[in-house]
Homo-oligomer: A and B are copies of this chain.
Amino acid sequence: MTRTEPAGTALGDDFHLYDTTLRDGAQREGISYSVADKLAVARLLDELGVGFIEGGWPGALPKDTEFFARVAAGELQLKHAALVAFGSTRRAGVAAEEDQQVRALLDSRAPVVTLVAKSDRRHIERALRADVDEACAMVADTVTFLVSEGRRVFLDAEHFFDGYAFDPDTSLRVLDAGATAGADVLVLCDTNGGQLPLGIADTVREVRDRTGFRLGIHCQDDTSCAVANTVAAVQAGVTHVQCTANGYGERAGNADLFAVTGNLVTKLGMEVLPTGGAAELTRVSHALAEIANIAPYSHQAYVGASAFAHKAGLHASAIKVDPLLYNHIDPSSVGNDMRVLVTEMAGRASLELKGRELGVDLAGRPEALTSAVHKVKRLEAEGWSFEAADASLELLLRREVGGEQAEALAVPPFLLESYRVVLDHRADGVVSSEATVKVHVAGQRVIATAEGNGPVHALDAALRQALSPHLSWLDSVELADYKVRILPGHPGTDAVTRVLVETSDGEREWTTVGVHGNIVEASWLALCDALVHKSMRVDSPACV
């Protein structure tokens, strides 16, 4: 039987960065990878430079079987990583070589196999309904057989920490059965995720001292400590860490590959990725979120869009002088950027810094800066918020600065004359929304009417209908997200509505804001800013 040769890692075998996004990560509620998705995930992980990619459980899940077959057929060429098949030890009472599930592991042609084995006596007795001798024999036989077939074998000792606390001898016997039969790494798994770092470190040290085996770690995040537990285990001597992209996994998830890697590289000074790999962490994290169809978590450590975002206020001037005083690392070392948020605490320094980030030069224009600060403060007091609406802020700053920085704004892509929206809840229970807009675009007055599932949707549809014959770029522009917040009025005033609109043209995304007592008008203001912002970036936006 042939098999794919291990690619090995670019960094040798001393330390294993092992990814199980495609198997344990796929346990997350809502994730359902196609085989094409799995190939794309593996390609990205390999580009990043992880050492091992666990591709799935061949024989147990048809999609996983197909994934391994397509890799073996040459659809995926790994540069750095070795591919791993995950599976279980033989069933009780069956020879390993006759167990179909074990054979499927061989048939996958993956050079490495990770076997899961129960190592908590309670699970052996109650879930497996076997005794400890038989459980150890299942481990020993299966490892022996796979090693004899030329596979490298790792052993995932399931529920290890709970089991070791309950009955350490049983747990150590399971490890010993695996190691004696030829398993290379004994992976201690916190399957229920209930551990804390100091306890993990103590247990790892104790097991290492008692056995001398090469140890690995696999943590779930049920105490919100999976990353910390993984790093603590490394500090206590494990040389193999199992993670998933963005911490995807069952329940609270697994140890996040990006945070673990960020910590190992920037805090412990370990070279666990090939040169240039760390600077790819942010990009790969976001790309893997896209494939999983899960919005990237903006507050994720190291790689989140907000991971280095400061509400500047008091510290803005100090940040300007010395950003590293306020960041734990240089954001670019993990491929991320520092952002300064404009808030009601905004001062001159933070607005100038923000302008620089948005390409608007305020440094040499103290009057424009003063007037922009006043305008932002006044608008934020009225309920506007620019911290998430860079595109609206850029328009505001350009208008304040004037001159060539506002040139593109002199000719807006269209002008509104009026709109009307009619909402009906009819006597038969049907609810409908219809909008009519009257606009001036490309020298013409255009009237258009459209329906939508709500007032804003209808207005957006009518506006598009009016403009799209005249603005060639409009078709690529889509509303990507829409957020509404009702702001209670100050004493004596009415509540106002704040709308944030995120717009995409397939390449770029930008966010605009609108505030008004009327939610439809607030939405309209944000929609208009979104289109004006886009038109600044196209050659012939149109002429009114």
In the bound complex, residues from chain B placing their C-beta under 8 Å from that of A424 are: 418-420
Assuming the contacts A127-B318, A267-B194, A486-B483, asked whether A455 and B29 have C-beta atoms less than 8 A apart, the reply is: no
Q: Is the CB of B306 within 8 A of A29?
A: yes
Interface residues of A in 222-273 (CB under 8 A from B): 222-225, 227-229, 231-232, 235, 247, 250-253, 256, 259, 262-263, 267
Q: Which residues of B contact A224 (CB under 8 A)?
A: 227-228, 256, 259, 263, 300-302
A352 CB within 8 Å of chain B: no
Q: Which of B318, B421, B425 contacts A126 (CB 8 A)?
A: B318
Q: Are A223 and B267 interface neighbours, CB within 8 A?
A: yes
Considering the complex, give the chain B residue whose CB is closest to the CB of A458.
B518
The count of identical subunits is 2
Neighbouring B residues of A438 by C-beta, 8 Å: 427
Bound-state CA distance A315–B116 (Å) is 13
Which B residues are in CB contact (< 8 Å) with A126? 318, 321-322, 325
Residues of A316-334 at the interface with B, using a CB-CB cut-off of 8 Å, are 318, 321-322, 325-329
Chain B hits for A197, CB < 8 A:
197-198, 225, 228, 231-232
Q: Do A225 and B228 touch (CB < 8 A)?
A: yes
A446 at the interface (CB under 8 A from B): no
Q: Is A152 an interface residue (CB 8 A)?
A: no
Stretch at the interface among A30-38, A363-371, A535-543: A30-38
**A326 contacts B192, C-beta separation under 8 Å:** yes
The smallest beta-carbon distance between A493 and chain B, in angstroms, is 10
Task: Given A252-B301, A293-B485, A518-B431, check contact A328 B223 (CB 8 Å).
Answer: yes
A379 contacts B by Cβ under 8 Å: no
Q: How far is the CA of A519 from the CA of B433 in the complex (A)?
A: 10
Partner of A123, one of B34, B251, B297, B325: B325
**Nearest CB in chain B to that of A488: its residue:** B34
Give the shortest distance, in Å, between A438 (CB) and chain B (any CB).
8
Output the nearest chain B residue to A116 by Cβ-Cβ distance.
Answer: B314
Kindly list chain B residues whose C-beta atoms are within 8 Å of the C-beta of A448.
Answer: none
With A and B bound together, what is the CA distance between A193 and B32 in angstroms? 34
Closest to A226 in B: B224
Q: Are B223 and A262 in contact (CB under 8 A)?
A: yes
A517 at the interface (CB under 8 A from B): yes
A327 to chain B: closest residue by CB = B192
- Do the beta carbons of A307 and B423 come within 8 Å of each other? no
Give A87 Cβ to nearest chain B Cβ, in Å.
12
CB distance from A305 to the nearest CB of B (A): 9
Contact A455 B453 (CB under 8 A): no
Query: Is A210 positioned at the interface, with any CB of B under 8 Å from its CB?
Result: no
Given A223-B301, A250-B309, decide whether A232 and B198 contact each other with a Cβ distance below 8 A.
Answer: yes
Q: Which chain B residues border A223 with CB–CB below 8 Å?
A: 227-228, 259, 262-263, 267, 301-302, 328
A425 to B422, CA, bound (A): 12
| Known contacts A196-B263, A197-B198, A198-B201, then 16 further A-B pairs from the complex at CB < 8 Å, ordered by chain A residue | A29-B306, A29-B309, A127-B321, A159-B325, A222-B307, A223-B262, A224-B263, A224-B301, A225-B263, A247-B299, A421-B421, A423-B520, A453-B494, A454-B518, A454-B520, A484-B519
